[in-house]
Structure 1
């Protein structure tokens, strides 16, 4: 086996193909000490090794006397091209409005090593040149590094015994030293909108990266890191950009949530069931501002924030197979004929918004399309007026029979809302299998209702099945074919 001089001043051939990167650090930027170390001369000052594992890179400054902390954020899972939004919150004696939040992508260990030492990729990594099955990587500035079969990465200091461990990778970095010499870029964007963290991986990016999040009130600061894992987005084989409905692909389903206090699991499970059947889901609310769910309503650690696709004023019933009102007390803001005033100001809304919702319900009814609601969302149908009568007058429905938001009216439950408007509400668990509440869904004509989050998954499946029936598509959408 041929050997080579590790300390020659002759630089290795560099690959000049278009897809190789240019060196970011010139030799004029390298310190004298680094030059000595790269040339094999043992430095008198120890080099601090870089860790390869993800770690909590920053916390509250232990010397600062702060009275607030940045609430922890769990790791995030995403798919390529998907935008994720996470509300940032703090605990303690400080107003969120007084804080400035920041976010940035943390460089990987490989990127930090490459930036510090200006490593050069090669067609030949001189495997086992000095007899330890090591593979060699050179710096553009003349120093040498090697990676062991176990993945440990060292800076050569004249001998194996004196070399400095810089990072401990896995064996894939030995199999492919380009992972170190030519690290992959992180193709994603991160920014802050007020108190919301927005992460958008590129459409063709997969992998994982860290985001460092910071908050400051001008005097004290806090920060933490979050791991973002991005999986490949698998396109729907049945995806069709043609919006013309067919027997196999009806128009999208419109889901209506409140900007404040919608019930997340009723939204999430219903939507998941619809999308599992190949149906497109469009989300609308009073505005396109980020919608916040009830606390502890089934959302994950990301806060369950949802940004609606469009405002209700921009919705046309012509474009959808069905309309679905999600529960949560925020749905009260869409009750057209409710004449009282709620104690919680966010539930009162405006006459203009209520009229918009009522007109929309009437449009769906006129087009003989399904109108659906779950839990407290059923109260929206109860207060809707079609030809002067409640949409639920004479209808049988399922809904949550417990409490309702406080107001100046003698209405204490969602059942009260329904029965005062001529509807009949069944008892909890009385639909289908008496041993479970997961199937409490009722279809009465073109009205579909479900009790609450327990039955949300089946609620979505039933809506999906009904709007996908060829007879329904033919009857409802004949004028657009």
Structure 2
């Protein structure tokens, strides 16, 4: 043990309160106190062995005997400087409104070790001081720790045989012990707004971390841990494009969704096709609050939440090339002339909202612009009234033939909604290839309709092609000439 007298640096200063430590141990030899400690004569801090691996992500940990569970969330991908919103949902016999959600960032193993032992960053980690190629780290209270070439991290107990394994890192922590002594901070914030998880990484932060999500109804609780990977955001264009429309460019396309229960794939695939053709898309709904889709309607890991660009009351038809109503049963709230009451209260909107939607459709018709809808959204056109008649009277359309939301009226399908208002609806798969509904898109005058989510991609392509035709663009932009 003659090599123990190599440690004679001064006792480190007290740890600073700033986010990063400024202390550095010197390269000089340690005092007698240090030698005694390494020989096992000085009491060490309370032991707390830790695991170095992350907990398994996206796992469910419901409380025992609870009659509900917290639905798993897949690992998330965020961009630096941009908030990521994810809806938290549960399954079982409980109302979401009765739950309280919370979330917090899980400390890394390195951060936990540093917090417990107050490890000190050093200029010299005394490699191979005791002959095992170990590298040494000191704590501010005088304890010693070492990391082996393979990454195992130990608390020194007077000998290698008696030392306590605290974590099993990889070799990078041996190459750079600062990863343990000076762990990197997680520069992100996490909170919950109602049932929406909001994760906001700092503008210059990239990396990964874990978030623990908790839910409780006051009696039972459940939790899960999800991994969040943060990628660097792509810088936005610095040049401001000329926003003045020209006769060679179509106006944006307005997509209308419901704030509750719109069909996500019908929205997403249609929008993707429109934007692939270079068209700008603007989204409107009853309010600009986050819109939630039907469950299992094609949304991804982020839950399919969409924040509308503006409320329907703020829309001016003259600003758009076409209006598109997305399906999903939430579209029922826009049916102007429907006289019944839906069993699901969220589908029963105010007369003022219905009048706003009907006036908007009339404005598009008066300006000779395309009015489009997909799936149950076609029922909005059926109940629209232009000069006292249904917009679909005498028109042929494609739409979802299946069930419609329950109400106090003897109307059980979307087809009935259309046919009761004078429209003719084709059979499923009746357009183009009879073996598929992917091409079931019908254009009748200025009315464009599509069957359902299978047809959404072509629906967007057809709308994009029609509103981009030079003759149509010239007509829409006549006032600019």
Q: TM-score, normalised by structure 1?
A: 0.81
**Distance apart, 1:88 and its partner CA:** 3.1
Aligned CA distance change for structure 1 residues 227 and 7 (closer, same or farther; 3 Å): same
Q: Does 1:200 align with 2:200?
A: yes
Q: C-alpha root-mean-square deviation of aligned residues, in Å? A: 3.9
Instruction: Tell me the residue number matched to 2:297.
Output: 297
Could you say what secondary structure the match of 1:411 adopts? Answer: coil
**Distance apart, 1:451 and its partner CA:** 1.0
Please give the per-residue CA displacement for 1:27-70, whole angstroms capped at 9, x wherever unaligned: xxxxxxxx9998663868872322222226994565xx655443
Q: Distance in 2 between matches of 1:234 and 1:22?
A: 32
Aligned CA distance change for structure 1 residues 399 and 157 (closer, same or farther; 3 Å): same
Q: Does 1:381 align with 2:377?
A: no
Q: Distance in 2 between matches of 1:236 and 1:253?
A: 22
Alignment map for 1:414-453 (pairs within 5 Å): 414-453=414-453
Gaps of 5+ in 2: 24-33
Instruction: Tell me the residue number matched to 1:21.
Output: 20
Instruction: Tell me the residue number matched to 1:10.
Output: 10
Instruction: Tell me the residue number matched to 1:30.
Output: none
Q: Distance in 2 between matches of 1:369 and 1:136?
A: 75
Instruction: Tell me the residue number matched to 2:353.
Output: 353
Q: Distance in 2 between matches of 1:137 and 1:37?
A: 16
Q: Distance in 1 between matches of 2:427 and 2:122?
A: 72
Q: Distance in 2 between matches of 1:22 and 1:150?
A: 26
Aligned CA distance change for structure 1 residues 284 and 60 (closer, same or farther; 3 Å): same
Aligned CA distance change for structure 1 residues 435 and 351 (closer, same or farther; 3 Å): same
Q: Distance in 2 between matches of 1:370 and 1:220?
A: 52
Alignment map for 1:322-471 (pairs within 5 Å): 322-467=322-467
Which one is further off, 441-450 or 460-469?
460-469
Aligned CA distance change for structure 1 residues 222 and 441 (closer, same or farther; 3 Å): same
On the 8 A contact 2:321/2:370 being kept in 1, the answer is: yes
Instruction: Tell me the residue number matched to 1:55.
Output: 55
**Distance apart, 1:355 and its partner CA:** 0.8
**Distance apart, 1:335 and its partner CA:** 1.1
Q: Distance in 1 between matches of 2:427 and 2:402?
A: 11
Q: Distance in 1 between matches of 2:102 and 2:389?
A: 52
On the 8 A contact 2:246/2:480 being kept in 1, the answer is: no
**Distance apart, 1:319 and its partner CA:** 3.9
Which one is further off, 125-134 or 390-399?
125-134
Aligned CA distance change for structure 1 residues 44 and 156 (closer, same or farther; 3 Å): closer
Please give the per-residue CA displacement for 1:239-265, whole angstroms capped at 9, x wherever unaligned: 856533458875543322122222222
**Distance apart, 1:385 and its partner CA:** 2.5
On the 8 A contact 2:60/2:72 being kept in 1, the answer is: no
Q: Distance in 2 between matches of 1:45 and 1:120?
A: 15
**Distance apart, 1:109 and its partner CA:** 1.8
Aligned CA distance change for structure 1 residues 138 and 462 (closer, same or farther; 3 Å): farther
Instruction: Tell me the residue number matched to 2:308.
Output: 308
Instruction: Tell me the residue number matched to 1:166.
Output: 166
Aligned CA distance change for structure 1 residues 278 and 176 (closer, same or farther; 3 Å): farther
Q: Distance in 2 between matches of 1:37 and 1:478?
A: 91
Q: Distance in 2 between matches of 1:432 and 1:78?
A: 41
Aligned CA distance change for structure 1 residues 47 and 405 (closer, same or farther; 3 Å): same
Could you say what secondary structure the match of 1:378 adopts? Answer: helix
Please give the per-residue CA displacement for 1:145-186, whole angstroms capped at 9, x wherever unaligned: 444443333334444444333222334434444433333322
Q: TM-score, normalised by structure 2?
A: 0.81
Q: Distance in 2 between matches of 1:147 and 1:247?
A: 69
Aligned CA distance change for structure 1 residues 242 and 145 (closer, same or farther; 3 Å): farther
**Distance apart, 1:142 and its partner CA:** 4.3
Number of corresponding residues? 465
Gaps of 5+ in 1: 25-34
On the 8 A contact 1:188/1:200 being kept in 2, the answer is: yes
Q: Distance in 2 between matches of 1:335 and 1:101?
A: 35
On the 8 A contact 1:69/1:91 being kept in 2, the answer is: yes
Aligned CA distance change for structure 1 residues 409 and 98 (closer, same or farther; 3 Å): closer
Larger Rg: 2
